[in-house]
Amino acid sequence: MSTPVAIVTGANSGIGRATAVHLAAQGYRVFGTARNLDSTGKLRAMADTAGVEVETVQMDVADDASVADALARIIDTAGRVDVLVNNAGVGGNAVVEDCTPEQIQAVMDVNVSGALRCIRAVLPTMRAQGSGAIVNISSVTGRIGAIAQAPYVASKWALEGLSEELALEVAPFGVRVVIVEPGITKSAIFAKNVDLPPSVGAYDAHYRRMLQFYAAGIPQATDPFEVGAVIHHAVTTDDPKLRYACSWGGAELTNRAAFSDEAWVEVGRAVDDDDYYRRFEKTFGVSIAP
């Protein structure tokens, strides 16, 4: 068999960068995309250190023409696509009442429509091959309504629904669909996602508790290469699953069998921060208290 080909979007940082390097180390020809190639210096340095090559391609997942042109050039160059990792994404903080339709649309355009653009571009080739894997990087927030992150949560729930449907639709063509649900992983997205929207003023506690969740998790954040290893396993195993939870808090927060919808709502009834942290730990088994 010829060298397998992988495309990793958002490969300039965090999970995308680690996944690109990890797949290259496993023998893949890897194309790592980034909106700005000037931001790929760390990727190239990491690849050099690992003794592998990652070919960088400029692509903006929020732009139809950019995606169509970049992926057509990759497919023309490589002749096939075996793995697509839809990793490029943005965060978004707001309680629902503070959230505007424009904010939702902006996050959805990257996190959902961006993945869709890439999926549509590679599927004809994968169907013709009779093989391939599409990996959509979701989040623990794709399984729970994480407090004060309405735009991000909406986008990840939408991505999970899209992925479930896609898995059914492409199974007859030999194409595998994988949803990866990381908890807190070492990534630049957290440093970039600290802004809070103009608020009606009733939700100070909600924003404070959301920020405390990340304050508790970031010191324990998982190395993104662990996510890369999960992705490689998911696309190569003979016993595939649709969903893979990983990283700090991943298994606990996505285990919907362990808590009911009503239990999740009860967490939100907390009257003060200490009560909220107690309820959170009781429900999920994860301590986020200061």
SS3 of residue 68 by DSSP: helix
| Helix H or strand E encompassing 156 | helix 150-170
Under DSSP, the state recorded for 147 is: T
Task: Determine the residue type at 67.
Answer: V
Cβ atoms of 110 and 61 closer than 8 Å: yes
Q: What sign does the CA torsion over 107, 248, 42, 58 have? A: negative
3-state SS class at 16: helix
Burial 57-80 (b: 16+ CB within 10 A, else e): bebbbbeeebbeebbeebbeebeb
Active-site residue, from 28, 152, 207, 277 = 152
Could you give phi then psi for residue 239, rounded to 5 degrees?
-130, 70
Which of 264, 263, 245 has its CA nearest to residue 254?
A: 245
The residue among 253, 255, 254, 247 whose CA lies nearest residue 18 is 247
Check: CB of residue 217 under 8 Å from CB of residue 7: no
152 catalytically annotated:
yes
* Structure token pair of residue 193: 């996602």
How do beta strands 132-137 and 175-182 pair? parallel
CA of 262: how far to CAs of 13, 97, 147, 207, 259, in Å? 37, 21, 15, 22, 8
Q: Catalytic residue numbers?
A: 152
